[in-house]
Amino acid sequence: MLIQGKWHAQGSAAQSSATLRLESDRFVIEIEGGLSFSGKLEDLQISDRLGNVERKLTLEDGSIFSTQDNKSIDRLFKDHKKINYFIHRLESHFAWVAIAIICIIVFSFSFFKWGVPWVSSKIAHALPDKANELIAGHTLDFLDDYIFDESQLEEQNKEKIRSRFRSRLIPLEEKNSIIKYKLLFRAWGDGEEGIPNAFALPSGDIILTDKFVELSESQDEIDAVILHEMGHVAHRHSLEMVIESTLVTTVVMMITGDNSGFVDMGLGVGSLLVSSNYSRGHESEADLYAFEHMLVAKIDPQAFSDIMNRITAYMGKVENTEEHEEEGGGLSSSLLDYLSSHPGTAERVDRAMWYSECFKKGLLVCNAVDEDNNKF
């Protein structure tokens, strides 16, 4: 069998008509003008078949024999050279192409939906506490430089909250006594339009904003939210979130080939902790941690429900005047959207009330279930 094609010398765009034939385990290429090449089949490099794209056979000296006769190449070399037909078969059957695309979509969705969170959780719980402190240290510096202002609360008020935190809440944490919890106060927002919030860094630093303290009507409400944040630290939710975001960013950059994002990855940790919601599972775990420890500390979990409702009402009031605030350089829409949803949902309030009923009965362990007999 003879295969018609073109021959190109190495590094030259010029081409000459040529024919290719096989002789046992050797090939012979005869080129117009009397020139010929021969050699062992194993010395040939044959390009994979991609549809009807021209096939190229690279010789040992770097010259190339090219041909459009893909079928003849396949038949001629199938018993002598290992040629990859898989991609060609996929391209030749639309159904297989569709199945492959669906498989890729399902795999990608599953990877980012369940795979990345699972891996992030394993990594977060495997890292030593020193890693938490290292991440938190740089993150707090970033937050103080770009997000927060110095707290305007009276020192006497802050010390009162810290004293109760040290004497009543920290001793409740027996399983994770190695965590070095620390309470910090920061101002966030301008004056009366301050942002009520509390969140924890992976190291155990818990930040309360001035507006949150101002909206709290009792120490129990403050303690309830602090315990919720301690739950995030104990379960390493902040660290999981940072690792998850880093993994997703890294995978995307590897796929796109854009490595410039690595430069900004460190600074992104601070903004991530401020601007991202925890998952529903994370919030539920932190809630349960808070309620269970509140029963032990003799604190009515209704305090958690009260402060959540008050913050939600405050943020709703701010949102009603959002357009006015933005014109005056106030809170941004995206931040308001985040904060208004952050305090929680009716389900979380219901869970707090279930635990409140257990508290009123003097129970230290509460089997809280919903109307469908599902445990909260």
Question: Which residues fall within 8 angstroms of residue 172, CB to CB, at 6 or more apart?
Answer: 227, 293, 296, 297
pLDDT tens digits in sequence order for the chain, 376 residues long? 688 889 888 878 788 899 988 877 788 888 888 888 888 877 888 887 776 778 888 888 889 988 888 888 777 776 555 555 555 555 556 676 678 788 888 887 887 777 777 777 777 767 776 666 666 667 788 888 888 999 999 999 999 999 999 999 999 887 666 788 999 999 998 656 788 999 888 888 899 999 999 999 999 999 999 999 999 988 888 777 777 777 766 666 666 655 554 444 444 444 445 444 567 788 889 999 999 999 999 999 999 999 988 988 888 777 666 555 555 444 444 444 444 444 456 788 889 999 999 999 998 888 765 544 455 4
Element (H, E) at 205: strand 205-209
Question: Which residues fall within 8 angstroms of residue 126, CB to CB, at 6 or more apart?
Answer: none
pLDDT at 289: 93
Distance CA 64, CA 73 (A): 14
**Of 302, 317, 307, 376, which Cα lies nearest the Cα of 344?**
307
**Of 242, 338, 228, which Cα lies nearest the Cα of 283?**
228
Question: Which residues fall within 8 angstroms of residue 264, CB to CB, at 6 or more apart?
Answer: none
pLDDT at 252: 66
Bridge partners of residue 40, in order along the sequence: 26
CA angle 171, 175, 181 (to 5 degrees): 50
Dihedral sign for Cα atoms in the order 372, 229, 330, 185: positive
278-282 long-range contacts, CB within 8 A, separation 24+: 278/232, 278/237, 278/241, 279/117, 282/232, 282/235, 282/237, 282/240, 282/241
Contact 220/303 with Cβ under 8 angstroms?
Answer: yes
**pTM for the full predicted model:** 0.62
Q: What does each C-alpha distance from 19 to 10, 31, 58, 159, 214 come to in angstroms?
A: 18, 7, 14, 91, 88
Distance CA 194, CA 147 (A): 12
**Tokens in use for 275?**
């601007």
pLDDT at 78: 67
Distance CA 311, CA 219 (A): 15
Contact 51/45 with Cβ under 8 angstroms?
Answer: no
pLDDT at 192: 66
Contact 270/146 with Cβ under 8 angstroms?
Answer: yes
pLDDT at 88: 54
Radius of gyration of the chain from its Cα atoms, rounded to whole angstroms: 33
